[in-house]
Each structure stands twice: as C-alpha cells, then as structure tokens.
Amino acid sequence: MFDWLKNKFLTGSRYSYLIRWGKGHEKNLLIGLVLTLGFLIGLGTGLLMNSNQVSPIIIDKNIKVGLLEPENYGTGDTNSSKINASFGNFVASINGKAYYPKDCKSANVIKEENRIWFENAEEAEADGYRPAQNCPVNK
C-alpha cells in the first residue's frame, strides 16, 4: 500500500528525486521561469516609472465639455439659490437630459460644477436637451 511512498522518499536522497523530477519537466520549468521573470521585470519597470508623488484625481466636467468656469467654482460657496444670470437664461445638468429656466426651483438643485448654460431654449434643444416637465418654458 505504501510502496510508492517508499520508492519516492526512502530510496535515494530527496535531492536526487528532485533532479529526476526536474529533468522530466524541463520545458514546463523554463516556461514558468520566463513568465515569472517577465512579470518581475514589468513590475519593476512600472515601479521605477511611477513617481513617488501622489497626484489627486480631479474631474472637472465643465472643462471636458468645453465650458467656462463660473466665478464661484471651487470657492466652497454652497448657496445653490444664487444662479449667475450672466451665463444664460436656461440651465441643464451635464448628467441629465432636461433643461430649466434659470428662475426654476429645480434648477437650483443642480450642482454648480454640473451646470451647463444656454442663452435660449432652441440652443438647449439643439444640444439634445428637452424642456423640464416641472418647470414651464416660455420660448
């Protein structure tokens, strides 16, 4: 019952057993060695290329869509009831599909950094926005 165990460990040294096993698996060992070295070289190169400075991730959606920054952007002003009239007469969220008149209460809910402004309703509709159902739009 334990003949295979005797043959494996009791006849000869463990070193000679490993040598015999290795000769039978030379190709697999070589492939594993090459893959391991490739991984370590790639990891080392990535670590060398990476600077030690941690840079913050900044997502500014207004810059992504080519809009100007509002004056109070980034100042921590959270008073959302103030909408700057110099940006336009209609406002929409860059994450939404509806546009609102600037004096609509729902327009005040849109975060300042997500607002996109339009001069008129036709301009908003040309960009793919539809009129909001809860705020009437006078064209």
Query: In this model, does residue 41 exceed pLDDT 90?
Result: yes
pLDDT of residue 30: 92
Q: Give the DSSP letter of residue 56.
A: P
What tokens were used for 40? Answer: 């370590």
Mean pLDDT of 11-30: 81
pLDDT of residue 92: 92
pLDDT digits 0-9 by tens, 21-40: 888 888 999 999 999 999 99
pLDDT of residue 32: 93
Q: Which residue has the higher pLDDT, 114 or 66?
A: 114
Query: In this model, does residue 99 exceed pLDDT 80?
Result: yes
Query: In this model, does residue 128 exceed pLDDT 70?
Result: yes
C-alpha pair distances (Å), 139 with each of 78, 88, 89: 30, 14, 11
Mean pLDDT of 111-118: 90
Query: 2 falls in which pLDDT band (50, 70, 90)?
Result: low
pLDDT digits 0-9 by tens, 43-96: 888 877 776 666 677 665 555 455 555 554 544 444 443 444 457 889 999 999
What tokens were used for 108? Answer: 């005040």
Strands, E assignment, 22-132: 90-93, 98-101, 115-118, 130-131
Contact between 98 and 118 under an 8 Å Cβ cutoff? The reply is no
